[in-house]
Amino acid sequence: MNSSQHFLLSFATSIFVAVAGAAGVILAQDWLIERQIPPYILALAVFIVLHFTVRWYFSNFVRVKCAYGCGKKALPIRGRTDRFRCESCGQDF
């Protein structure tokens, strides 16, 4: 997968998982209200936590193929969003 596919997949997956988690909280709304837990605040918290957790997972564990054709995988550059460095040739992309 190249870097643009990595960004698109990580963003779309994180939104999808976060919405599914928040929807799960809303579906359990009656049970949460019985226990005096505010469901909409919890749904917002679940959305935020799941979104950033999935983005963190993608940035740390899903590798990108080198854009310069050396055949190796690239690692994310710390502190730079969606920038990668090849572990073999050292090129940034």
pTM of the predicted model, to two decimals? 0.81
- The domain segmentation of the chain, as residue ranges, is 3-62, 64-93
pLDDT at residue 27 in the model = 97
Any bridge partners for residue 31, and if so which? none
- The CA dihedral of 33, 37, 43, 47, to the nearest 10 degrees, is -160
pLDDT tens-place string over residues 14-58: 999 999 999 999 999 999 999 999 999 999 999 999 999 999 898
